[in-house]
Structure 1
Amino acid sequence: MRSRFALGAVLAGAPLALALLGPLLAGAPGPRAASFAPGGGHPLGTDFVGRDVWHQVLLGGRSVVLVALAATALAYLIAFPLGVVSALTHRTWLEELLMRPLDVLLAVPSLLLILLVAAAFTPGAAALALLVALVNIPDAARIVRAAAAEAASRPAVEALRMQGETWWRTAVGYVGRSLTRTLAADAGVRLTGVLYLVATAAFLGIGVEPDAADWAVMVDRNRTGLLVQPWAVFVPALLIVALTTGANLLVDAVLEKRKPTWIPPTPA
């Protein structure tokens, strides 16, 4: 478990550090060079227009990583109250009002929805984060509702109601706390899907400029010269893969550490 946590911390920490600190360490871009090979002040060589690949890597993580993290957090911020309220309410009309529009949105392919919105107007980074969060809310809300419904059926919830506890204390204090393991397990997988959507949108030129310093845009720009300059493609792609893999390893290690132990019953 410790080795899994350490490996996950390294894999996820490197892309996060580059995304947060890279723009501060990048400095001014150096002169463009005609050679693709590493050397001459270019540790990873230059891309197809002579820009330093390492400089682009330092600048390109913030637009992908921060947008993905913001979209994931925003999706749970909206899905959590929707799922908990839907699970605890005794009013069928309220549950239908909350969940049925999400089912309609869930039927629309996420990438198709992003393309349709991008065709109507050009979204920025904030709009892209909001849009990616929107397409993840229905699935996240259904997971929250299913887990909350199971927790709400326990005798402890009925005991809290009989004691006159407030709805907030029952919903958040007990039911909400019981969802931590489920949401933690889902967060690692969801972050992978969100990163895929954000990177795909950037790959298609949605949310970023076509010549922006962005990891996904770097892959798109330099893929035709993969055999000539592989670092311009492999490094940003590996950083995205490392972040998703490391995040899932960290979640698995934390869940394994906090796994409840089963105590056999004492014989009568």
Structure 2
Amino acid sequence: MTLARAWPVVPAAVLVVVAVIAPVVVDISSVDGDIPYAPPSSRDWLGTDHLGRSVLPQLMVGGWRIMVIAAVIATVVTLFAAIAGSVAAVEPRFGNLIDRTTDAAMLVPPILAIMLVLLSWPAAGTAGLIIVAVLVGTPYSARVFAAAASGVAASGFVTVAVASGERLLYVVFREVLPNLRDTTITQLGLRFVEAMYLVSTAAFLQLPAALGESNWALMVRENSAGVLLNPWAVVAPALALALVAVSLSLAVGAIASRKTTP
């Protein structure tokens, strides 16, 4: 990716670096309370929250859990979908199964599925959130991979490999998947953005999988009552979530258009 196309990912990269480093160097438990919803000052650059705590330290440490869980979901979904889609392209009968599974999965909104599981099975926690997100996200992504892999599967080298009696897994991992790098990168970015939305919504709703006492989504929920007193207590975490999502979406768009742009 050229420098001109790399700039969209800069905001997300900065936030990721801060989110990874901040928990090591910032201890929010040692932050003294002050007046709730105090405006920005030389001491508290973004003011204080509903408990009188400085917003900036919480903002710095509030993103890493959301990002880590979203990255895990995106990676697992992309991995499973890439394998399933490649198998579907080589084995049409499996492709029909993916189509039917995708049609069924699209009937249930992902956040509704997460709420049903986590509210009825609180002990599932973060693991339950990841499992449900993977189950509802994989079928649709697998259909995308199947469409991308169909052209590869119809190529001569794959046909020769199948005709020579190579096993299905060999054809998938050695012949098909290596030719889906661009699709894999694009889907990984899109799945991460979707996972950010799901994880943030779960945290905002304070489901059993709430991601700690301080995260961006929970900051928006808890400080919404004082948005007129100190808007930064709500705007800053909401802006951080939006920047990560929009930045990665633009980067994915740049990758997707790489082949069509001279």
TM-score w.r.t. the length of structure 1 is 0.85
Kept after mapping to 2: 8 A contact 1:29/1:55: no
The residue type paired with residue 143 of structure 1 is V
Show the counterpart of 1:25.
Answer: 25
The number of equivalent residue pairs is 258
CA contact (8 A) 1:26 1:55 kept: yes
What's the counterpart of residue 88 of structure 1?
Answer: 90
Cα gap change, 1:169 to 1:108, in 2 (>3 Å): same
**For 2:63 and 2:261, how far apart are their aligned partners in 1?**
40
Paired with 2:261 and 2:9, the residues of 1 have a C-alpha distance of 25
User: After the TM superposition, which parts of structure 1 deviate over 6 Å for at least 4 consecutive aligned residues?
Assistant: none
Residues 47 and 53 in structure 1, CA contact (< 8 A), matched pair in contact too: yes
How many angstroms apart in 2 are the aligned matches of 1:31 and 1:261?
A: 53
Shift of residue 111, structure 1, vs aligned partner: 1.5
CA distance in 1, matches of 2:65, 2:212: 13
Query: Is the contact made by 2:89 and 2:146 (CA closer than 8 Å) also made in structure 1?
Result: yes
Aligned-pair distance for 1:97?
5.3
Alpha-carbon distance, 1:209 to partner: 4.4
Aligned partner of 1:146 in structure 2 is 147
Within 2, Cα distance between the matches of 1:97 and 1:10?
Answer: 40
Matched with 2:206 is 205
**Corresponding residue for 1:265?**
none
Query: Which 10-residue stretch deviates more, 233-242 or 150-159?
Result: 150-159
Mapped contact 1:19–1:66 kept (Cα < 8 A): no
Larger of the two Rg values belongs to structure: 1
Amino acid at match of 1:49: L
User: 1:33 and 1:187 mapped to 2: Cα distance?
Assistant: 42
Q: Give the Cα separation in 1 of the matches to 2:145 and 2:228.
A: 46
Counterpart of 2:216?
215
Relative distance call for 1:111 and 1:228 in structure 2 (3 A) is same
Please tell me the residue identity of whatever aligns with 1:44: L
Cα separation, 1, equivalents of 2:65 and 2:208: 9
Query: 1:256: Cα distance to partner?
Result: 5.0
TM-score (norm 2): 0.87
Q: Structure 2 unaligned segments of length 5 or more: list them.
A: none
Aligned sequence identity (%): 30
Which residue number in structure 1 is paired with residue 137 of structure 2?
A: 136
Deviation at 1:95, TM superposition (A): 4.9
CA contact (8 A) 1:15 1:240 kept: no
